[in-house]
Amino acid sequence: MTTESHETNNLFQMAQNQFNTAADFLGLDQGLRKVLSSCKRELTVNFPVLMDDGTIDVFTGYRFQHNVARGPAKGGIRYHPEVNPDELRALAMWMTWKCATVDIPYGGAKGGVMVDPKKLSKHELENLTRRYATEIALMIGPDTDIPAPDVNTDAQTMAWIMDTYSMHKGYTVTAVVTGKPINIGGAEGRNEATARGCQYVIREACREKGMSLDGAKVVVQGFGNAGSIVARLLAEDGAIIVAVSDSTGGIYNPKGLDVRKVVAFKQEHSTVVGYPNAEQLTNHEILELECDILVPAAFENQLNEENAGKVKTKIVAEAANGPTNLAADQIFQDNGIFVLPDILANAGGVTVSYFEWVQDLQSFFWNEAETNKRLHQIMVKAFAQVYKISQERKIDMRSAAYILAVGRVAEAALTRGIYP
Protein backbone atom coordinates (compact mmCIF):
# COMPACT_ATOMS: atom_id res chain seq x y z
CA MET A 1 0.00 0.00 0.00
CA THR A 2 1.34 3.43 -0.90
CA THR A 3 1.86 6.10 1.71
CA GLU A 4 -0.81 8.26 0.09
CA SER A 5 -3.38 5.47 0.20
CA HIS A 6 -2.48 4.64 3.79
CA GLU A 7 -2.97 8.26 4.84
CA THR A 8 -6.27 8.46 2.96
CA ASN A 9 -7.54 5.36 4.73
CA ASN A 10 -6.73 7.01 8.07
CA LEU A 11 -8.75 10.15 7.34
CA PHE A 12 -11.80 8.96 9.25
CA GLN A 13 -9.67 8.17 12.30
CA MET A 14 -8.22 11.67 12.02
CA ALA A 15 -11.72 13.16 11.84
CA GLN A 16 -12.84 11.12 14.85
CA ASN A 17 -9.79 12.21 16.85
CA GLN A 18 -10.58 15.85 16.08
CA PHE A 19 -14.17 15.25 17.18
CA ASN A 20 -13.09 13.54 20.41
CA THR A 21 -10.87 16.50 21.32
CA ALA A 22 -13.88 18.80 21.06
CA ALA A 23 -16.11 16.28 22.87
CA ASP A 24 -13.62 16.26 25.76
CA PHE A 25 -13.74 20.05 25.98
CA LEU A 26 -17.55 19.95 25.93
CA GLY A 27 -17.88 17.02 28.33
CA LEU A 28 -20.17 15.03 26.04
CA ASP A 29 -21.40 11.71 27.41
CA GLN A 30 -20.47 8.42 25.73
CA GLY A 31 -23.89 7.86 24.17
CA LEU A 32 -23.89 11.19 22.37
CA ARG A 33 -20.27 10.64 21.31
CA LYS A 34 -21.29 7.39 19.64
CA VAL A 35 -24.08 9.13 17.77
CA LEU A 36 -21.95 12.03 16.54
CA SER A 37 -18.82 10.05 15.68
CA SER A 38 -20.49 7.67 13.21
CA CYS A 39 -22.33 8.12 9.92
CA LYS A 40 -26.12 7.92 10.01
CA ARG A 41 -26.50 6.34 6.56
CA GLU A 42 -24.06 4.70 4.16
CA LEU A 43 -24.95 3.59 0.64
CA THR A 44 -22.64 1.63 -1.67
CA VAL A 45 -23.69 1.02 -5.28
CA ASN A 46 -22.15 -1.02 -8.10
CA PHE A 47 -23.62 0.03 -11.42
CA PRO A 48 -23.07 -0.71 -15.11
CA VAL A 49 -22.22 1.94 -17.70
CA LEU A 50 -22.38 1.46 -21.47
CA MET A 51 -19.07 2.68 -22.93
CA ASP A 52 -18.57 4.28 -26.33
CA ASP A 53 -17.05 1.12 -27.83
CA GLY A 54 -20.15 -0.90 -26.94
CA THR A 55 -18.64 -2.66 -23.92
CA ILE A 56 -20.10 -2.50 -20.41
CA ASP A 57 -18.05 -1.50 -17.39
CA VAL A 58 -19.09 -1.60 -13.74
CA PHE A 59 -18.25 1.25 -11.36
CA THR A 60 -18.52 1.56 -7.59
CA GLY A 61 -20.10 4.65 -6.05
CA TYR A 62 -21.04 5.85 -2.58
CA ARG A 63 -23.25 8.33 -0.77
CA PHE A 64 -22.72 8.78 2.97
CA GLN A 65 -24.74 10.96 5.37
CA HIS A 66 -23.06 11.75 8.67
CA ASN A 67 -25.67 13.70 10.63
CA VAL A 68 -28.96 15.49 9.90
CA ALA A 69 -29.85 16.86 13.35
CA ARG A 70 -29.74 20.47 12.13
CA GLY A 71 -31.24 20.00 8.66
CA PRO A 72 -30.88 18.14 5.35
CA ALA A 73 -27.54 16.53 4.53
CA LYS A 74 -25.18 18.57 2.34
CA GLY A 75 -21.97 17.59 0.62
CA GLY A 76 -20.09 17.20 -2.62
CA ILE A 77 -19.62 14.36 -5.06
CA ARG A 78 -16.10 13.50 -6.21
CA TYR A 79 -14.85 11.37 -9.09
CA HIS A 80 -11.44 9.87 -8.35
CA PRO A 81 -9.81 6.43 -8.62
CA GLU A 82 -8.91 6.46 -4.92
CA VAL A 83 -12.35 7.34 -3.55
CA ASN A 84 -12.96 5.05 -0.58
CA PRO A 85 -15.42 4.72 2.32
CA ASP A 86 -13.16 6.05 5.10
CA GLU A 87 -12.33 9.14 3.06
CA LEU A 88 -16.03 9.83 2.48
CA ARG A 89 -16.92 9.20 6.13
CA ALA A 90 -14.34 11.78 7.16
CA LEU A 91 -15.46 14.31 4.56
CA ALA A 92 -19.13 13.83 5.51
CA MET A 93 -18.28 14.41 9.17
CA TRP A 94 -16.26 17.51 8.33
CA MET A 95 -19.25 18.82 6.34
CA THR A 96 -21.45 18.50 9.42
CA TRP A 97 -19.01 20.59 11.46
CA LYS A 98 -18.44 23.05 8.62
CA CYS A 99 -22.15 23.80 8.26
CA ALA A 100 -22.46 24.18 12.03
CA THR A 101 -19.41 26.46 12.24
CA VAL A 102 -21.05 29.02 9.93
CA ASP A 103 -24.48 28.22 11.43
CA ILE A 104 -26.37 27.16 8.32
CA PRO A 105 -29.18 24.58 8.73
CA TYR A 106 -27.54 21.54 7.15
CA GLY A 107 -25.97 18.28 8.21
CA GLY A 108 -23.01 16.67 6.47
CA ALA A 109 -22.80 14.24 3.57
CA LYS A 110 -20.33 13.16 0.89
CA GLY A 111 -20.42 10.99 -2.19
CA GLY A 112 -18.15 9.72 -4.89
CA VAL A 113 -17.40 7.28 -7.66
CA MET A 114 -14.20 5.29 -8.06
CA VAL A 115 -13.24 6.45 -11.54
CA ASP A 116 -10.61 8.45 -13.39
CA PRO A 117 -12.84 10.85 -15.33
CA LYS A 118 -9.93 11.87 -17.58
CA LYS A 119 -10.13 8.41 -19.15
CA LEU A 120 -13.80 8.80 -20.08
CA SER A 121 -15.35 10.67 -22.99
CA LYS A 122 -17.94 13.33 -22.22
CA HIS A 123 -20.67 10.94 -23.35
CA GLU A 124 -19.38 8.18 -21.06
CA LEU A 125 -19.11 10.66 -18.18
CA GLU A 126 -22.71 11.71 -18.70
CA ASN A 127 -23.83 8.07 -18.78
CA LEU A 128 -21.93 7.35 -15.57
CA THR A 129 -23.29 10.45 -13.83
CA ARG A 130 -26.91 9.77 -14.76
CA ARG A 131 -26.72 6.13 -13.69
CA TYR A 132 -24.98 7.06 -10.41
CA ALA A 133 -27.65 9.71 -9.77
CA THR A 134 -30.33 7.09 -10.35
CA GLU A 135 -28.66 4.69 -7.89
CA ILE A 136 -28.42 7.29 -5.09
CA ALA A 137 -31.83 8.85 -5.83
CA LEU A 138 -33.33 7.06 -2.82
CA MET A 139 -31.11 9.24 -0.57
CA ILE A 140 -30.89 12.61 -2.30
CA GLY A 141 -33.59 15.27 -2.58
CA PRO A 142 -34.18 18.97 -1.84
CA ASP A 143 -35.50 18.13 1.64
CA THR A 144 -33.14 15.26 2.46
CA ASP A 145 -29.67 15.47 0.89
CA ILE A 146 -28.38 18.09 -1.55
CA PRO A 147 -25.17 17.19 -3.48
CA ALA A 148 -22.70 19.70 -4.93
CA PRO A 149 -19.51 19.62 -7.03
CA ASP A 150 -16.25 18.38 -5.56
CA VAL A 151 -13.02 16.92 -6.94
CA ASN A 152 -13.35 16.29 -10.72
CA THR A 153 -17.02 17.26 -10.83
CA ASP A 154 -18.47 20.61 -11.89
CA ALA A 155 -21.61 22.56 -12.81
CA GLN A 156 -22.26 20.28 -15.79
CA THR A 157 -22.15 17.22 -13.52
CA MET A 158 -24.74 18.86 -11.28
CA ALA A 159 -26.91 19.70 -14.29
CA TRP A 160 -26.97 16.01 -15.31
CA ILE A 161 -27.86 14.95 -11.77
CA MET A 162 -30.60 17.56 -11.49
CA ASP A 163 -32.07 16.57 -14.85
CA THR A 164 -31.94 12.83 -14.03
CA TYR A 165 -33.65 13.36 -10.67
CA SER A 166 -36.24 15.62 -12.28
CA MET A 167 -37.02 13.03 -15.00
CA HIS A 168 -37.76 10.47 -12.28
CA LYS A 169 -40.05 12.94 -10.49
CA GLY A 170 -41.81 14.09 -13.63
CA TYR A 171 -41.17 17.76 -12.95
CA THR A 172 -38.15 20.06 -12.56
CA VAL A 173 -36.50 20.01 -9.13
CA THR A 174 -33.73 22.60 -9.25
CA ALA A 175 -33.08 22.50 -5.49
CA VAL A 176 -31.86 18.87 -5.50
CA VAL A 177 -28.27 20.00 -6.15
CA THR A 178 -26.25 23.18 -5.86
CA GLY A 179 -23.34 24.44 -7.91
CA LYS A 180 -25.49 24.27 -11.06
CA PRO A 181 -25.16 26.48 -14.15
CA ILE A 182 -26.87 29.82 -13.56
CA ASN A 183 -29.35 29.31 -16.42
CA ILE A 184 -30.97 26.33 -14.64
CA GLY A 185 -31.14 27.66 -11.09
CA GLY A 186 -27.53 28.23 -10.12
CA ALA A 187 -26.52 31.16 -7.92
CA GLU A 188 -24.47 34.12 -9.01
CA GLY A 189 -21.20 34.11 -7.09
CA ARG A 190 -21.23 30.34 -6.40
CA ASN A 191 -18.15 29.64 -8.54
CA GLU A 192 -15.99 32.00 -6.47
CA ALA A 193 -17.64 31.31 -3.14
CA THR A 194 -15.10 28.94 -1.56
CA ALA A 195 -12.21 31.22 -2.48
CA ARG A 196 -14.04 34.40 -1.49
CA GLY A 197 -14.97 32.95 1.90
CA CYS A 198 -11.31 32.05 2.41
CA GLN A 199 -10.31 35.58 1.44
CA TYR A 200 -12.71 37.05 3.98
CA VAL A 201 -11.35 35.01 6.91
CA ILE A 202 -7.74 35.67 5.84
CA ARG A 203 -8.51 39.39 6.01
CA GLU A 204 -9.91 38.96 9.53
CA ALA A 205 -6.89 36.90 10.60
CA CYS A 206 -4.47 39.52 9.27
CA ARG A 207 -6.38 42.20 11.15
CA GLU A 208 -6.20 40.27 14.43
CA LYS A 209 -2.51 39.48 13.92
CA GLY A 210 -1.59 43.04 13.01
CA MET A 211 -0.48 41.97 9.53
CA SER A 212 -1.02 43.85 6.30
CA LEU A 213 -2.43 41.77 3.47
CA ASP A 214 -1.10 44.39 1.08
CA GLY A 215 2.42 43.19 0.31
CA ALA A 216 2.05 39.85 2.13
CA LYS A 217 3.80 36.93 0.42
CA VAL A 218 1.39 34.10 -0.37
CA VAL A 219 1.95 30.48 -1.46
CA VAL A 220 -0.99 28.49 -2.87
CA GLN A 221 -0.77 24.71 -3.20
CA GLY A 222 -3.46 23.53 -5.60
CA PHE A 223 -4.37 25.70 -8.58
CA GLY A 224 -7.83 24.36 -9.30
CA ASN A 225 -11.06 26.31 -8.84
CA ALA A 226 -10.54 27.28 -5.21
CA GLY A 227 -6.77 27.78 -5.34
CA SER A 228 -6.60 29.81 -8.54
CA ILE A 229 -9.46 32.09 -7.50
CA VAL A 230 -8.16 32.67 -3.96
CA ALA A 231 -4.79 33.55 -5.50
CA ARG A 232 -6.46 36.09 -7.76
CA LEU A 233 -8.59 37.57 -4.98
CA LEU A 234 -5.65 37.93 -2.59
CA ALA A 235 -3.61 39.53 -5.38
CA GLU A 236 -6.44 42.04 -5.80
CA ASP A 237 -6.02 42.80 -2.08
CA GLY A 238 -2.35 43.63 -2.77
CA ALA A 239 -0.80 40.31 -1.73
CA ILE A 240 2.20 38.99 -3.65
CA ILE A 241 1.59 35.46 -4.94
CA VAL A 242 5.11 34.02 -4.93
CA ALA A 243 4.30 30.37 -5.71
CA VAL A 244 1.47 28.14 -6.90
CA SER A 245 1.22 24.47 -7.83
CA ASP A 246 -1.11 21.93 -9.38
CA SER A 247 -1.02 18.13 -9.56
CA THR A 248 1.95 18.20 -11.95
CA GLY A 249 4.24 20.55 -9.99
CA GLY A 250 4.81 24.09 -8.82
CA ILE A 251 6.30 27.41 -9.92
CA TYR A 252 8.03 30.04 -7.80
CA ASN A 253 9.06 33.64 -8.30
CA PRO A 254 10.03 35.58 -5.14
CA LYS A 255 9.08 38.85 -6.88
CA GLY A 256 5.56 37.56 -7.49
CA LEU A 257 3.55 35.83 -10.20
CA ASP A 258 0.95 37.46 -12.43
CA VAL A 259 -2.00 35.28 -11.43
CA ARG A 260 -4.13 36.06 -14.45
CA LYS A 261 -1.27 35.12 -16.79
CA VAL A 262 -0.68 31.89 -14.84
CA VAL A 263 -4.39 31.05 -15.17
CA ALA A 264 -4.23 31.70 -18.93
CA PHE A 265 -1.06 29.56 -19.20
CA LYS A 266 -2.74 26.67 -17.40
CA GLN A 267 -5.83 26.90 -19.57
CA GLU A 268 -3.61 26.59 -22.64
CA HIS A 269 -1.17 23.93 -21.35
CA SER A 270 -3.29 22.12 -18.69
CA THR A 271 -0.51 22.74 -16.15
CA VAL A 272 1.34 25.59 -14.46
CA VAL A 273 4.65 23.78 -15.01
CA GLY A 274 6.68 25.49 -17.71
CA TYR A 275 5.36 28.96 -16.94
CA PRO A 276 8.12 31.40 -17.99
CA ASN A 277 10.24 33.44 -15.57
CA ALA A 278 9.59 31.07 -12.67
CA GLU A 279 11.57 28.40 -10.87
CA GLN A 280 10.14 24.88 -11.12
CA LEU A 281 9.44 23.19 -7.76
CA THR A 282 7.67 20.02 -6.68
CA ASN A 283 4.20 20.12 -5.20
CA HIS A 284 5.61 19.56 -1.74
CA GLU A 285 8.62 21.88 -2.02
CA ILE A 286 6.39 24.92 -2.31
CA LEU A 287 4.89 24.10 1.11
CA GLU A 288 8.31 24.82 2.67
CA LEU A 289 8.86 28.21 1.04
CA GLU A 290 9.13 31.22 3.32
CA CYS A 291 5.93 33.24 3.13
CA ASP A 292 3.37 35.13 5.21
CA ILE A 293 0.31 33.10 4.20
CA LEU A 294 0.21 29.47 3.05
CA VAL A 295 -2.99 28.31 1.37
CA PRO A 296 -3.24 24.52 0.97
CA ALA A 297 -5.98 24.15 -1.65
CA ALA A 298 -5.29 20.63 -2.94
CA PHE A 299 -5.95 17.27 -1.27
CA GLU A 300 -5.99 15.90 2.26
CA ASN A 301 -2.91 15.19 4.39
CA GLN A 302 -0.52 17.54 2.60
CA LEU A 303 0.85 18.99 5.82
CA ASN A 304 2.11 16.25 8.12
CA GLU A 305 4.80 15.28 10.62
CA GLU A 306 7.36 15.01 7.82
CA ASN A 307 7.11 18.57 6.55
CA ALA A 308 5.28 20.67 9.18
CA GLY A 309 8.54 21.57 10.96
CA LYS A 310 9.88 22.99 7.69
CA VAL A 311 6.87 25.22 7.05
CA LYS A 312 7.89 28.89 7.30
CA THR A 313 4.70 30.95 7.37
CA LYS A 314 2.62 33.03 9.77
CA ILE A 315 -0.85 31.89 8.67
CA VAL A 316 -2.10 28.62 7.18
CA ALA A 317 -5.51 29.07 5.54
CA GLU A 318 -7.03 25.70 4.71
CA ALA A 319 -8.89 26.10 1.42
CA ALA A 320 -8.82 22.29 1.04
CA ASN A 321 -10.55 19.73 3.25
CA GLY A 322 -8.29 18.08 5.81
CA PRO A 323 -4.89 19.25 4.47
CA THR A 324 -3.28 19.22 7.94
CA ASN A 325 -2.99 16.07 10.02
CA LEU A 326 -2.94 15.91 13.82
CA ALA A 327 0.84 15.78 14.15
CA ALA A 328 1.27 18.84 11.92
CA ASP A 329 -1.37 20.69 13.93
CA GLN A 330 0.67 20.24 17.10
CA ILE A 331 3.88 21.34 15.36
CA PHE A 332 2.16 24.47 14.04
CA GLN A 333 0.92 25.30 17.55
CA ASP A 334 4.41 24.83 18.99
CA ASN A 335 5.88 27.06 16.27
CA GLY A 336 3.28 29.81 16.67
CA ILE A 337 1.71 29.36 13.24
CA PHE A 338 -1.90 30.58 13.12
CA VAL A 339 -4.13 27.99 11.40
CA LEU A 340 -7.47 28.89 9.86
CA PRO A 341 -9.12 25.44 9.91
CA ASP A 342 -10.93 24.01 6.90
CA ILE A 343 -14.33 23.94 8.60
CA LEU A 344 -14.06 27.73 8.78
CA ALA A 345 -11.70 28.78 5.98
CA ASN A 346 -13.39 26.91 3.13
CA ALA A 347 -16.98 27.17 4.34
CA GLY A 348 -17.77 29.86 1.77
CA GLY A 349 -18.69 27.23 -0.80
CA VAL A 350 -21.32 25.49 1.27
CA THR A 351 -22.62 28.85 2.51
CA VAL A 352 -23.36 30.06 -1.01
CA SER A 353 -24.69 26.58 -1.84
CA TYR A 354 -27.16 27.22 0.97
CA PHE A 355 -28.02 30.55 -0.65
CA GLU A 356 -28.57 28.77 -3.99
CA TRP A 357 -30.84 26.18 -2.37
CA VAL A 358 -32.91 28.90 -0.67
CA GLN A 359 -33.25 30.78 -3.95
CA ASP A 360 -34.31 27.63 -5.81
CA LEU A 361 -36.95 26.81 -3.21
CA GLN A 362 -38.36 30.34 -3.43
CA SER A 363 -37.80 30.84 -7.19
CA PHE A 364 -36.43 34.24 -6.25
CA PHE A 365 -32.83 35.04 -7.16
CA TRP A 366 -30.20 37.51 -5.93
CA ASN A 367 -27.46 39.26 -7.82
CA GLU A 368 -23.78 38.56 -7.11
CA ALA A 369 -23.36 41.68 -4.96
CA GLU A 370 -26.14 40.52 -2.64
CA THR A 371 -24.60 37.04 -2.46
CA ASN A 372 -21.16 38.40 -1.59
CA LYS A 373 -22.60 40.77 1.01
CA ARG A 374 -24.43 37.95 2.79
CA LEU A 375 -21.39 35.67 2.52
CA HIS A 376 -19.18 38.34 4.05
CA GLN A 377 -21.55 38.77 6.98
CA ILE A 378 -21.61 35.04 7.73
CA MET A 379 -17.85 34.46 7.36
CA VAL A 380 -16.89 37.48 9.49
CA LYS A 381 -19.35 36.47 12.20
CA ALA A 382 -18.10 32.86 12.19
CA PHE A 383 -14.47 33.96 12.40
CA ALA A 384 -15.27 36.26 15.32
CA GLN A 385 -17.08 33.48 17.20
CA VAL A 386 -14.27 30.97 16.67
CA TYR A 387 -11.57 33.51 17.52
CA LYS A 388 -13.38 34.50 20.71
CA ILE A 389 -13.47 30.87 21.88
CA SER A 390 -9.78 30.43 21.04
CA GLN A 391 -8.86 33.50 23.06
CA GLU A 392 -11.10 32.72 26.04
CA ARG A 393 -9.96 29.10 26.31
CA LYS A 394 -6.38 29.81 25.14
CA ILE A 395 -6.60 27.13 22.46
CA ASP A 396 -5.89 26.90 18.74
CA MET A 397 -8.45 27.91 16.12
CA ARG A 398 -9.22 24.36 15.01
CA SER A 399 -10.12 23.26 18.52
CA ALA A 400 -12.18 26.42 18.92
CA ALA A 401 -14.06 25.83 15.67
CA TYR A 402 -14.78 22.24 16.68
CA ILE A 403 -16.04 23.31 20.10
CA LEU A 404 -18.42 25.75 18.41
CA ALA A 405 -19.58 23.30 15.72
CA VAL A 406 -19.82 20.11 17.75
CA GLY A 407 -21.57 22.04 20.51
CA ARG A 408 -24.24 23.23 18.08
CA VAL A 409 -24.84 19.77 16.63
CA ALA A 410 -24.84 18.13 20.07
CA GLU A 411 -27.36 20.68 21.34
CA ALA A 412 -29.64 20.01 18.37
CA ALA A 413 -29.39 16.24 18.87
CA LEU A 414 -30.16 16.54 22.58
CA THR A 415 -33.08 18.87 21.97
CA ARG A 416 -34.60 16.50 19.41
CA GLY A 417 -34.02 13.44 21.58
CA ILE A 418 -33.80 9.81 20.56
CA TYR A 419 -36.60 8.35 18.41
CA PRO A 420 -38.71 6.42 19.33
Residues annotated catalytic, as ranges: 110
Q: How far is CA 98 from CA 50, 200, 224, 342, 384, in A?
A: 37, 16, 21, 8, 15
C-alpha span between 254 and 234 (Å, rounded): 16
Q: How far is CA 382 from CA 70, 197, 377, 397, in A?
A: 17, 11, 9, 12
Amino acid at 2: T
Sequence-separated (6 or more) residues with CB below 8 Å from residue 225: 191, 194, 195
What three-state secondary structure class fits 132?
helix
C-alpha span between 234 and 146 (Å, rounded): 30
DSSP state at residue 186 = P
Q: Beta-carbon neighbour count of residue 307 at 10 Å?
A: 15
- The residues that bridge with 145 in the sheet, in sequence order, are 73, 141
DSSP state at residue 73 = E
Sheet strand arrangement including 293-296: 279-281, 249-252, 240-246, 217-221, 293-296, 315-317, 338-340
CB 30 within 8 A of CB 42: no
Query: Distance between the two ends of the chain, CA-based, in angstroms?
Result: 44
